[in-house]
């Protein structure tokens, strides 16, 4: 589904990513772990074409997308949920969702308002509320739901559990499990090891812009020194 090789990225003169490589299979959930500032968000933005100074290979669905602009990558079937959420605060929940609507994709699940409201009952209850009236967790749900309205095959989730209440984190874990059952592939950027373990099949750890671990959570548990070295605060 997604193959990244020798991905390098720069902001001005700062070299952020160094030969990052990762793979994501069909109907798989993979976590990209690391401390704050390790390069997780930059990796996702580079995949989406949002970092101008980038090089390497990014193949999605057997197509090279490294030279494509963000809107073309989105149209190809990749949805991106940014850490900043970026909802329209003066639009209602329903209006925010309509902004994300795209035509149905033959090889991906179709998402309607009714389907999304089943998945996010909190949003159904607040469908007439404006974006600024939602809690942080509800805004995160809305951002994910708006992305799903584009009917993607692959979703990049950047720090979905960051800054939200524990009860919402549990709901988020349920949502990700449901999305996988629907047939989506998901790459999650996370600092929360417990949350990543709940929802992911395997993990990569990134540190200072380089991938320093790839494997299952079982392997990670058997080598606690890795978590201590790269994930401990």
Q: What is the pLDDT of residue 170?
A: 85
pLDDT at 228 over 70: yes
Please give the average per-residue pLDDT across 61-76, as a whole number.
Answer: 91
The token pair that represents 14 in the structure block: 């700062």
Residue 191 has φ and ψ, to the nearest 5°, of -100, -20
User: Which ranges constitute the DSSP H helices of 87-130?
Assistant: 93-99, 113-119, 121-125
What does the alpha-carbon distance between residue 206 and residue 43 come to, in Å, rounded to a whole number?
Answer: 10
79-110 b/e with 16+ CB inside 10 Å = b?
Answer: bbbbbebebeeeebbeebbeebeeeeeeebbe
pLDDT digits (tens, 9 = 90+) for 188-203: 999 888 888 889 999 9
pLDDT, greater one: 104 or 220: 220
Q: How far is CA 46 from CA 16, 97, 113, 125, 135, in A?
A: 11, 25, 30, 36, 29
Q: Is the pTM of this model over 0.85?
A: yes
Asked if pLDDT for residue 57 goes beyond 90, the answer is yes
Could you give all domains of the chain from N- to C-terminal order, each with its CATH number?
27-53+74-230 (3.40.50.300)
**Average of per-residue pLDDT values in the chain:** 90
| Section 96-106 average pLDDT | 83
Burial class (CB in 10 A: 0-12, 13-18, 19+), 52: exposed
Per-residue pLDDT tens over the stretch 120-169: 999 999 999 999 999 888 998 999 999 999 889 999 999 888 877 888 88
The answer for residues whose C-beta is within 8 angstroms of residue 65's C-beta and 6 or more apart is 49, 58, 59, 72, 73, 76
Three-state SS for 181?
helix
Least reliable range by pLDDT among 96-110, 114-128, 213-227: 96-110
3-state secondary structure of 81: strand
Residue 166 vs residue 48, higher pLDDT: 48
């Amino acid at each position: 589904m997604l193959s990244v090789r020798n991905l390098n990225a720069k902001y001005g003169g700062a070299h952020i990513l160094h030969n990052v490589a990762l793979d994501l299979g069909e109907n798989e959930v993979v976590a990209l772990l690391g401390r704050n500032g390790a390069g997780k968000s930059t990796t996702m933005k580079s995949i989406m074409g949002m970092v101008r100074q980038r090089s390497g290979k990014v193949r999605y669905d057997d197509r090279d997308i490294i030279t494509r602009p963000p809107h073309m990558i989105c149209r190809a079937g990749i949805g991106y949920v940014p850490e900043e959420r970026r909802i329209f605060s003066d639009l209602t929940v329903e209006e925010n969702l309509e902004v994300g609507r795209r035509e149905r994709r033959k090889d991906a699940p179709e998402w309607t308002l009714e389907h999304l409201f089943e998945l996010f009952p909190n949003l159904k209850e607040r469908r007439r509320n404006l974006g600024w009236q939602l809690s942080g967790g509800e805004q995160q749900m809305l951002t994910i739901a708006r992305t799903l309205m584009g009917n993607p095959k692959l979703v990049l989730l950047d720090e979905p559990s960051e800054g939200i209440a524990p009860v919402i984190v549990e709901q988020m874990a349920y949502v990700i499990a449901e999305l996988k059952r629907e047939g989506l592939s998901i790459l999650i950027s996370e600092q929360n090891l417990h949350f990543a373990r709940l929802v992911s099949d395997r993990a990569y750890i990134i540190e200072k812009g380089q991938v320093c671990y790839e494997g299952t959570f079982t392997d990670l548990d058997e080598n606690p020194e890795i978590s201590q070295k790269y994930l401990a605060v």
